[in-house]
Structure 1
Amino acid sequence: MDGNFLYKEDLTAALPVGVSKDDSILFTEHYIRSWAEEILLYEKAENNIPDNAGIDQLVENYRKALIMHTYQQELINQRLTKDLPEEDVVAYYEQNKELFKLDFPLIKGLFIKVPLTAPQLANVRKWYKTEKQEAVEHLEKYSLQNAVKYEYFYDKWVSVADILELLPLQVETPEIYVNRHRQIELKDTAFYYFLNVSDYRSAGDQKPYEFARSEAKDLLVNQRQVNFMKQVKDDLYKQAVSKKKIIYN
């Protein structure tokens, strides 16, 4: 271990903040031992690996790759923006519909859970079946005093699995059941459950844009980065040829 030194300031810098005195002693002992073991193992390995040239080449290849990657990221950060116009994201989504398929079904609708003893159940049965603003407002006011659970999601997609967790639905294929029965009323020993399904997307269907937007944007950003770097490399190559840095025989 000749020529290797562990300085106090290096050890201090590695010490976790706020550690107790006893723990700092244990940490210091472990750190020093690990430092020494690493150096000893490296020296042993260096003396017993015959093909150091091969390792040097691997290190050089990694260095080149790291430098190129760092340069590419700097270029991309300087020249490209991730703030894409919304119409560009929409166009990419429309042109690449095959990329956006659902892995699980989605649903839009309304759910309300009330006790069996809740008042105005006849009205609830009427209100939950329609998306009309007046009925929704009645339900919202009603739910404040009477509902155990109220979920309004006519305006957003949610996982069918999340809604099924709210229902005491005992069927073999609950997702299919919900798709076929858009207005569902169930009850158990304590509660009534009402679900109105306004829209449904099955697994394998195209993802709704609002559900796929983030993914579409990321894919478009990545595509533009790839195209940008391809153009940069092409320009560098053409410049090198024109300056006769690359010569064909």
Structure 2
Amino acid sequence: MYEDYVQIGFVLSVITITFLILILLLINLMLSSRNKKLRHKAELLQAHSNQREATEAARMEVAVATFSDISRDLHDEVGQLLTFSILQLEYLSSKPEQERQILIDEVKQSVRDSLDAIRTISRGLNPDFIHEQGLLISIEHLVQRAQHKTGISIDLISNPEINDLPATTAVIVYRIIRECITNSVRHGQATKIEISFSITENENQVIISDNGISKDVNAFNAPGLGAKSMSYYASLINGNVVFKNNTENGVTVVLAFPALKS
């Protein structure tokens, strides 16, 4: 009988110890799982923090590039027009009566051109305006203004599907096209520009080609050409910009980005 009690006690002890071990293992698994979740949560928070910091940095870079563009546009366009107006007004008092009205009309036109330039700059910064008006119409207005101002011939091969692009993408496309037109006129000495669009299921392309001066490959990154800012803007829509010389003369700029629609 005593031996039976010993065996029962031994079995109960083994069961108790086994049960305690199982409880300890379960607690350990729970703690381990909790620690993994905490680590995962910490990693997610860190990743979110890093992403937020990267986003803020990107926004800051865009803001700096945008302010730089605005400064240049105000200096090159509005500044010159207003300077011309001031000079005309200074000459006004020294001119005979019959010539004053001509100068006054020139000053009025210069001020109108200044206001038009300011409107164009503000439109290029406003995603809502371009999205509401439509990207294609915005580009058409940009082309008409460039032709009127510089006399350059611009062939815009329209594609209504570009109006389906998201607002932010539309602004970036607009700004890159505007930058290309400016470069063709100011640096390329072009007399003709062609703008076309390739819309497919997987990729969108904007092709801007001119008949101006061909450049060395390294020259595309020269200060003042805006190549870096264009490439950066393209990266914001997961795209890229390629600069290449044409077979005979001139430069072609290709903006390519994924076919994401609004």
Q: Pick 1 or 2: higher relative contact order, CA cutoff 8 A, min separation 6.
A: 1
Question: When the two structures are superposed, what TM-score results if normalisation uses the length of structure 1?
Answer: 0.21
Structure whose residues are more often helix by fraction: 2
